[in-house]
Amino acid sequence: MTVELRDVTLRDGLQLVGKAPSTARKVEIARELLALGVPSLEIGSMARGDLVPTLADTLHIVDALTPEELARCWVWVATPGHVRRARERGVVNFQYCLSVSDAHNRANLGRSTEQSLDTVADGVAAANGGRVQLTLATSFTCPFEGPVDPGEVVRIANDPRTAGTEDVVVCDTLGQARPGEVASLVARVRDETPPRRIGFHGHDTWGQGVANAVAAVGAGAAFVDGTLGGLGGCPFAPGASGNTASEDLAFGLRPEFATPDAFRALVRLGEDLTAELGENNSSRAAQGARSRAAAFGWVL
């Protein structure tokens, strides 16, 4: 089972924290993660700074990174204008996000899902040769509408307006999905929609984060998202807690970079960051790494 881990601490992980690291510290975290071998990162969002103030410095982070570093970094976007502004600053990887449920799309983006779909082609064109992922929030449940019909996810992924997107990411925005549901939906996207890499973005609200990621990979997902210490949540999704911890995913799924030394460094980085922010570290693997089972090569 081969899988990539994308660390999304610097976007999704910082959306709900009480205070944000400085721009310089964010750049430092990005470089530490890249140096550990984490293949890709999410480094920020083009959402309005007054709505998500902890991410208002995204373009300053972009300016500080080299083209080689930016080649491994993703930025959240939701409009062609977002794409154009980010592309002008050197961003080459874009997560074009919309919600499967109309109510969440209106709460998050101020428009209907269909209106968002109408903009995707212009967003792909604005990327000007960059890579665009189709990121589908509330693929399983919606905080306003309840369970989401899997057929709607398949319909959107098949919509001709999404042509040109290279990947499709199904998101358990509230962390309410179960492994069987995740495996079923990923398999349907794999079998019933155009060939693209599939990603899974999960939250650990109900304790199923790692199990859901394993199920997604078993059904064909090529990458999964996580955050240091399980930081995160969505300001427009009541009831959503933190993401699945990158440390837990690294330990459980063993992506290529996750040697014991890299895992230990990841644990320390997560502990340092959550302490700096005064936030809870919910990683179970980080707790395990602090055990006294010295004969086990993954402990600190």
Q: Which amino acid is at 113?
A: T
| CA 115 from centre of chain | 23
Question: From CA 218, how far away is CA 3, in angstroms rounded?
Answer: 10
Strands (E), 24-177: 40-45, 73-77, 93-99, 131-137, 141-142, 146-147, 167-172
Residue of 73, 97, 171, 234 marked catalytic: 234
The answer to whether residue 234 is catalytic is yes
Residue with tokens 């709505």: 51
Q: For residues 134 and 74, give the distance between their C-alpha atoms in angstroms, rounded to a whole number.
A: 12
**Cα–Cα distance for residue pair 206/189, rounded to 1 Å:** 24
- Beta strands (DSSP E) in the chain are 4-7, 40-45, 73-77, 93-99, 131-137, 141-142, 146-147, 167-172, 197-202, 223-226
- The residue with tokens 């373009």 is 59
Short-list 205, 229, 236, 242, CA closest to 277: 229
The structure tokens listed for 237 are 């999704």
Query: Which residues are annotated as catalytic?
Result: 234
